[in-house]
Chains A and B, each alone.
Chain A
């Protein structure tokens, strides 16, 4: 005997198809969804599009990766080593720039003071 799938089961089948790359209208038809439930599949598609994203900060990934590799006793390759290198390089460049500006300002200020003292 074949039991008739419930609405929740049909919706789940349609979602499974949609997540597998089938267009939602096709997935709904293949799963035998009722018309009243089509809006639920639309909501599922919208949620899928809005929620599927990478949120992990590269620094956190690197820090946790280092900690885990310490536990495991072997270094691991990062997924995005380039991002971390770029982040580090930009940070270093900004640091060098700020330091150079501070030195320049300081030297100008002291030379101005010396100049005024010589004028007196």
Chain B
């Protein structure tokens, strides 16, 4: 597995908000707990929305964090942010999981994968809209679905998504545009 994302690209604007915690974890592995707590939901969400299965998502999440902890010393602030680096590891694990499975996701995502922190009445009211969105997401090609999940579940920028998927920032924006157009059409139709 390649832990380090593709070609290093200097971030033009924002400093990496995780850098202090990464430095701390490089000095003392116990400090990795902060990064674990911060990114557990997001890495899990990425895996779950792409694999459609909680068990497989847990497996990918576990492998991702173990690999990240093992390779934390290799992270360098040379362009890609820590979260892009982490999601690159998750992406590699995801590709391995799909390869091992020998097929792409066939399990549709059920209602039990909805948010669990809202009240039941609210969830019931949202259920139909949620199902329509999920069906639309399920029908996207893999590359478009990955962009959508990384953008809206994980909050990555187009630049970071490019580092994760090995694509240019512009290509990610185009994929995002096409994906949202497809979702909008599916919701209308």
Binding site for B on A (CB under 8 A): 6-9, 11-12, 15-16, 19, 39-44, 46-48, 50-57, 60-61, 64-65, 67-69, 71-74, 76-77, 79
A-contact 0/1 string along B174-189, CB 8 Å cutoff: 1011001101100110
The DSSP consensus for interface residues of chain B is helix
Q: Which of B32, B45, B66, B177 contacts A51 (CB 8 A)?
A: B45
Contacts A46-B187, A68-B32; is A40 near B181 (CB within 8 Å)? yes
Task: For residue A24, give the distance in angstroms from its CB to the closest CB of chain B.
Answer: 12
For residue A67, which residues in chain B have a CB less than 8 angstroms away from its CB? 62, 66
A6 to B178, CA, bound (A): 13
Question: Which residues of A sit under 8 angstroms from B66, Cβ to Cβ?
Answer: 67-68, 71
* Residue ranges of B at the interface with A (Cβ–Cβ < 8 Å): 28-30, 32-33, 36-37, 40-41, 44-45, 48-49, 54, 57-58, 61-62, 65-66, 69-70, 113-117, 126, 129-130, 133-134, 137, 148-149, 151-153, 155, 157-158, 170, 173-174, 176-177, 180-181, 183-184, 187-188
Give chain A residues whose Cβ lies under 8 Å from the Cβ of B126: 50
Q: Given A42-B184, A44-B152, A48-B152, is A9 in contact with B29 using a C-beta cutoff of 8 Å? A: no
The reply to whether B180 and A43 contact each other, CB–CB distance below 8 Å, is yes
Q: A53-B115, A65-B36 are in contact. List 4 more A-B contacts (CB 8 A).
A: A12-B176, A50-B129, A53-B116, A55-B57
Q: How far is the CA of A72 from the CA of B36 in the complex (A)?
A: 12
